[in-house]
Structure 1
Amino acid sequence: MVNAASLHAVRGGGLIQSYRLVNSKFPPIALFDDVASADEFDILYAVQALTNPRLQNEVGSLNLIPRSEIPFGIKGCSYATAPFTHVNPDGSRFADGSFGMLYLADTMETAIAEVRHHQQAYWSKVHGLNYERFVFRGLVCQFDEAGVLDATSLPLTHPIYAPDDYTFARALGRDVKAAKAPGLRYHSVRAMGNTCWALTTPRQVASIIQSSHYEMVWSGRITSVNKLVAGA
């Protein structure tokens, strides 16, 4: 079975431009973006906690990530940090639900293909859903790839790329996290020939900014994905 020690780390690094798609019903967490350091965050959190009963729900589980891992002061700090404080209990390809991963893609089309697959799988289980529109926020991310482990050396036939069985992928993800590697570079399973990343920490991120909005139209299945024009 593949593990972190068997994968080569990206050397030299350099900023990579990547893309992400998040549901627009989840707004940015202002508190992460309003401060430039961990000390400022702790002070502001303590003050706001006195008057904002929803603060913990907004910020998430802060015990899941050390303050030193949060890239305070960058553009889009909340976008970088949210996957690690609002962990999906159902897990994902490389995470078992006990920790988060920041998933990124090499193009917006790749990000859309990945999200479309998972939205299709989720909403197909909801009975009686005949028509709906789901709006997503496109994000452009710059991150340093130095130290990321390269799983693109493995063929798409490897068990970590199984379309719907994440057993081997999650075992690898746990090992990568335990090894304190910053993440994985891997083949996109939903957009063949393209590349994705699963970061185990937001500290590699230099910026994440919002780009366009997209809608996915459900009519028994996801029938189309449309880029929304501002003011339309």
Structure 2
Amino acid sequence: MVAELPNVELDNQSSFRLVNSKFPTITLFDDVIDAEDFDTAYALQALTNPRILNQLGDLNLLPKEEIPFGINGVNYATAPFTHVNKDGSRFSDGSFGMLYLADTVETAIAETRYHQEKYFRNIKDLNYDTVDMRCLSVKFSACLCDASGVEEYHHPDDYSAARLLGASVMKRNYPGVQYSSVRNEGATCWGLMSPRYVSSAVQTQHFEFMFDGERITKVRELRIPS
């Protein structure tokens, strides 16, 4: 399966990701420069901060050698791997995390809008709601499997074939997958299997998504005081 796909080499690739602003940043990762320092800082904070485990997630899911200590925004790079979505995603069945990235802010909004709208619709009797998202500008370098030309991996709602590919990529310890955006025609997305390929993840804009009971009717950029 993976062996049949071409590879694409990306160097210092620019990408974007939207994350829910209600989730606080995991500053402990940013406070240290290597795994040894992290162990010491974690032990100290665990004595005084009872929420540290919830903030960091399940550290057993991510070997410390995979954490890119010292980069800008290491907390953003690691979060998808320690706070794994148990419901899964396009290329994951929920047993492992992936860092999903988009080629432009517009693509990141389109991808996030679809999934947030689906979430809102599953809330009974919800007539109106808003959610704030922070945009991340992410740089990464990796040699990825290029699945962008394979139709079966791009079904709008059926992720079964894509998850088989993701499991194969994970088993072979490949860095990740390049694929076509299903929510923004002609755009490109990436799914990374580890945060170690990320060289920076910097917060940029904030956006507000507005849901009218049926769909997200408006996405507007928020002006956050500095």
TM range, smaller chain: over 0.9
Q: Which residue identity is paired with 2:137?
A: V
Pick from 215, 218, 226 the counterpart of residue 224 of structure 1: 218
Structure 2 Cα separation of the partners of residues 217 and 116 of structure 1: 10
Q: Distance in 2 between matches of 1:87 and 1:95?
A: 10
Q: Does 1:144 align with 2:141?
A: yes
Partner Cα distance (2:116, 2:154) in 1: 19
TM-score (norm 1): 0.94
Count the aligned residue pairs: 225
**How far apart, in 1, do the equivalents of 2:184 and 2:201 lie?**
22
**1:23-38 pair list within 5 angstroms:** 23-38=20-35
Q: Which amino acid aligns with 2:157?
A: D
The match for 2:180 is: 187
Deviations 1:56-110 (A, max 9, x none): 1110001101111000000000000000000000000001111000000000000
Alignment root-mean-square deviation, CA:
1.2
Structure 1 outlier segments of 4+, above 3 Å: none
The residue that corresponds to 1:84 in the other structure is 81
Deviations 1:193-220 (A, max 9, x none): 0000000001110000000000000111
1:159 aligns with 2:152: yes
Q: 1:230, 1:210 → 2: CA distance?
A: 12
- The normalised TM-score by structure 2 is 0.97
Q: State the distance in 1 between where 2:63 and 2:179 align.
A: 26
SS in 1 for 2:167: helix
Unaligned runs of 5+ in 1: none
In structure 2, the CA distance between the partners of 1:152 and 1:219, relative to structure 1 (3 Å rule), is: same
Where in structure 2 are there 5+ consecutive unaligned residues?
none
More strand by share: 2
Cα distance in structure 2, aligned partners of 1:200 and 1:6: 19
Cross-structure match for 1:22: 19
Displacement of 1:117 in angstroms is 0.3
Cα distance, 1:118 vs structure 2: 0.5
Identity of aligned residues (%): 54
How far off its partner does 1:133 sit? Answer: 1.2
Deviations 1:28-71 (A, max 9, x none): 10111100101100111111111111111110001101111000
Structure 2 contact 147–153 (Cα < 8 Å) conserved: no
Q: How far apart in 2 are the matches of 1:109 and 1:20?
A: 10
Counterpart check, 1:210 vs 2:203:
yes
Cα deviation digits, residues 109-140 of structure 1 (max 9, x gap): 00000000001111111112111110000000
